[in-house]
Amino acid sequence: MLKNYIKIAFLVLKRRKFFTFISLFAISFTLVVLIVVSAVFDNLLAPMAPEINKGRSLTIFFAEMRGENSIWNGHPGYQLLNNYTRNLPGVELMSIYSESSPAISYVRGQKIVSALRQTDGEYWKILQFKFLAGSPLTTEDEKNANFVAVINQNTQEKFFPGQSAIGQQIEVDNQRFQVIGVVENVSQLHNAAYADIWVPNSTSKNAAYKTELMGRHEALLLTKNPADFPTIKAELAARMKTVEFPIEFKKEYEQINCFADTSLEAFSREAFSSQEANPRPDRFMAILLGLMTLFMLLPAINLININVSRILERASEVGVRKAFGASSRTLVAQFVTENLILTSLGGVLGFVGSILALELINHSSIVQYGGFQINYRIFFYGIIITIFFSLFSGVYPAWRMSKLNPVEALKGGSLR
């Protein structure tokens, strides 16, 4: 029976090629867009190298000082993080590092702009970079202000084409560093890990960063258990009430806050410019899922209309089959199967189109070192979307068709 349904389905698809083209295009285009969006968010939020510990990590990237007439928002300073966020209960490792910033180099008369990040030794224990050569920065490098650097593969190719960079000197913003490690390129969407060049915090040109409450640093906390997140956040909030302001700030500011966020909370905080302790990641997910559902509904409704048109063309066939005893369940099963085949073809085209689209993005400058790919999670999302199209656009028209009166169907009756 199933074999006959499949044969009939392909014959029906060939009968009205324009309708088939519209249906396949609607399914595949929608799937491409949603898979690309899913791949971007998966790259941004899911645990993957080097941020494989996202599930038990918290990031402190936002701070706010408030006074009666003044507000200062931005990244926390090194002093705030170093003095008030260390040894939080439940935290296994903590790293303080700078945000990535542009750094200028000149190689063979050519200007090169690199993303530079300053880190400590713990940074390389929390994040699991894939080393192509050499080794990471260490706590001793930070303590002794050693002028050493880890660079990514792209930087090695720019500075030392066709050579190994290990042991060689690299000049960045008029400072010279010895390259001790080379890692794979890291996507720009990996906020804590992305850079071209990593050097110790202590090699900063200006030591004033050590006295800043507000500045350009962030902290990464690796916890023993995600269940400790609420305790860590509560303790951090309590410590912020004990912060001592420098004399120059006391007249303008009365309190300071910073928050430890999961990756989803951090993204939600940035998306909504939230300055609250709870940035409402549930609201962000609800909006995102709502938008994706609306985006799917439009082509799905279009498919319903096309399927209704197909069924009307086959009213006589339906009448004959019902006259010879075909049950409503059998007819529904046949038409749902036909629609499943159509949506599956659209799904295959959608997956192929998604792979091509992601490759184009990876080789463009839209997202530096994009690294987008279809993994098992994205594949699962794609299957769910395809099933949604199949059921939403096929079940209702099939059910209406099964209710046709055999006599009216033989006369070319309509669905009412």
Query: pLDDT digit string (tens) for 84-122?
Result: 999 999 999 999 999 999 999 999 889 999 999 999 999
Q: Exposed (0-12), middle (13-18) or buried (19+): which is 264, by Cβ within 10 Å?
A: middle
pLDDT at 99: 95
Token pair 């699962």 is found at 380
pLDDT at 237: 94
Please, which pLDDT band fits residue 139 given cuts at 50, 70 and 90? Answer: very high
Cβ atoms of residues 123 and 220 within 8 Å: yes
Closest by CA to 120, choosing from 147, 139, 101, 134, is 139
* Residue 338 near residue 5 (C-beta atoms within 8 A): yes
278 dihedral zone (left: phi>0; alpha: psi -120 to 50; beta) = beta
Task: Tell me the one-letter amino acid at 1.
Answer: M
Tell me the helix, strand and coil percentages in the chain, rounded to 5.
50, 20, 30
Number of alpha carbons in the 13 Å side-chain half-sphere of residue 333: 10
Predicted local confidence at residue 114, as pLDDT: 96
Work out whether strand 169-172 and strand 175-183 pair parallel, antiparallel, or are unpaired: antiparallel
Strand partners, 171: 176
Residue 43 scores a pLDDT above 70: yes
What's the rounded mean pLDDT across residues 138-155?
Answer: 97
Instruction: List the structure tokens of 338.
Output: 């036909």
Q: For residue 181, what pLDDT is reported? A: 97
Residue 402 neighbours by CB distance under 10 Å? 20
What gap in Å lies between CA 18 and CA 305, rounded to an integer?
14
